Amino acid sequence: MGNVLVVAEVADGKLRKTTHSAVTFAKEAAAQLGGSYDILVIGAGVDGAAADAAKLGAGKVLVADDASLTNYLAETYAPTVAEIGKGYSVVCGTASPYGKDLLARVAGKLDAGFASDITSLLPQEGGKLTYKRPIYAGNAFVVCQLASDVEIVTVRQSAFDAAAEGGDSPVEKAAVAGASAAKDRIEWVNFNSVKSERPELAEADVVVSGGRALKEQFYEILDPLADVLGAAIGASRAACDAGYCAPDLQVGQTGKIVAPGLYIAIGISGAIQHLAGMKSSKVIVAINKDEEAPIYQITDYGLVADLFKAVPELTEKIKAAKA
């Protein structure tokens, strides 16, 4: 028997949806281990997030709430996560920037094996949890196991459905561990947030993504189409590097990994690194004036056209088709 701890992600006092994918993994892993899963909510003033977490079917929700945890730093969070986590067989989270930053540090503290960004939990082999994760930009997968008392896992959000809400788990206070020496040498200075009313990229049913070809008209062209579709906006690396949009919109191997029902790539040629971030989408559409663009090797529907004409036309016609 063994139990699983999910490290929740909190933003603006609320539970982030990234957490729900880790919970789905935790449910599967706990079932295989014949145990249960708990959720750790860590931060300052996180009662609201804890209440959200209590609806996710956990054995219990642990709350480590302390003023010293007001602004997230791995240096302050990792000691508490490790202290609580060492009583579990598996400590997991989602491979968002938060999960990647924090859980790797927890793995170091616990001298534990770490399987990052897994896309599935396979049936046990040799009585051990067995994970599958993509390598080489998704051009191969490796099946792996971990050899440590506590196993650390982050899951790819787009590969695990969000856990449904239901139930009312008991909420308990958890102790906050002493911070590390490193903590005294780091200072949280400022968060320059880029607010968007659109759905989160990793959670959207439709993603409209733009490339460098859009130039300064990136939003002018994409916004109306995204509005009509209720879509999130994504981008190629080239568009982000050129400053046409925020860096956290980058879809790709080392950016956001998405798998929406519909992905529309506009003016994106389809570098391997970009394909790695979106090729699990259900339906893929590309609009590009270069008919040889590699993106067409994986699209369901390709339209070879001048995007500056085709996208506004598409926007109007989708609006009409949905009316």
Partner 1 sequence: MKVLVPLKRVADPDNANKVKVPADGSKVDTGSLEWKANPFDEYALETALRLTEDGKAQKKRLGEVVVATFGPKDTETTLRAALATGADRAIRVDVEDEAIDGLLVAKALAKIVEEEKPDLVLLGKQQVDGDTNQVGQLLAELLDWPMATFAGTVQEEDGALLVGREVDGGQLDVRVKLPALVTVDLRVVNPTSVYSKVTDKEKFKYAEGVRFAPLPAIMKARKKPLDVKKLGDLVSDTAQKVKYIRYEAPPQRKAGEKVADVDTLVSKLKNEAKVL
Q: Rounded to whole angstroms, how far apart are CA atoms 275 and 232? A: 17
Interface segment toward partner 1; rule CB under 8 A; list 60-68, 167-175, 218-226, 248-256: 248-256
Q: Rounded to whole angstroms, how far apart are CA atoms 90 and 94? A: 13
- Contacting partner 1 within 161-180 (CB under 8 A): 180
Contacts of residue 99, defined as CB under 8 A and 6 or more positions apart, other chains included, come to 7, 9, 18, 22, 93, 154
CA 235 from centroid of its chain's CA atoms:
16
Q: Does 147 bind partner 1 (CB under 8 A)?
A: yes
64, 41 contact by CB (below 8 A): yes
Angle at 231 between CA 228 and CA 236, to 5 degrees: 120
Hey, which residues does 256 pair with through a beta bridge?
251
Interface segment toward partner 1; rule CB under 8 A; list 50-58, 62-70, 108-116, 158-166: 108-116
Judged by CB under 8 A, the residue of 140, 166, 197, 292 near partner 1 is: 140
Q: Rounded to whole angstroms, how far apart are CA atoms 93 and 22? A: 5
- Contacting partner 1 within 67-86 (CB under 8 A): 73-75, 78
Amino acid at 38: D
Q: Rounded to whole angstroms, how far apart are CA atoms 49 and 226? A: 29
Judged by CB under 8 A, the residue of 124, 175, 246, 306 near partner 1 is: 246
Distances (CA, A) of 50 to 140, 160, 309: 38, 21, 48
User: Among residues 54 and 77, whose Cβ is nearest to partner 1?
Assistant: 77
Burial of 103 (0-12, 13-18, 19+ CB in 10 A): buried
User: Among residues 9 and 38, whose Cβ is nearest to partner 1?
Assistant: 9
User: Among residues 1 and 191, whose Cβ is nearest to partner 1?
Assistant: 191
User: Among residues 96 and 169, whose Cβ is nearest to partner 1?
Assistant: 96
Q: Does 308 bind partner 1 (CB under 8 A)?
A: no
Q: Does 57 bind partner 1 (CB under 8 A)?
A: no
Judged by CB under 8 A, the residue of 47, 70, 254, 306 near partner 1 is: 254
User: Among residues 136 and 173, whose Cβ is nearest to partner 1?
Assistant: 136
Interface segment toward partner 1; rule CB under 8 A; list 29-37, 83-91, 217-225, 247-255: 247-255
Judged by CB under 8 A, the residue of 47, 168, 241, 290 near partner 1 is: 241
Judged by CB under 8 A, the residue of 135, 167, 170, 230 near partner 1 is: 135
Judged by CB under 8 A, the residue of 168, 172, 220, 300 near partner 1 is: 300
Judged by CB under 8 A, the residue of 67, 166, 178, 321 near partner 1 is: 321
CB of 56 to partner 1, least distance (A): 20
Output the CA torsion sign for 143, 56, 162, 191. Answer: negative
Judged by CB under 8 A, the residue of 2, 59, 60, 144 near partner 1 is: 144
Judged by CB under 8 A, the residue of 194, 197, 216, 292 near partner 1 is: 194
Contacts of residue 299, defined as CB under 8 A and 6 or more positions apart, other chains included, come to 265, 284, 285, 286
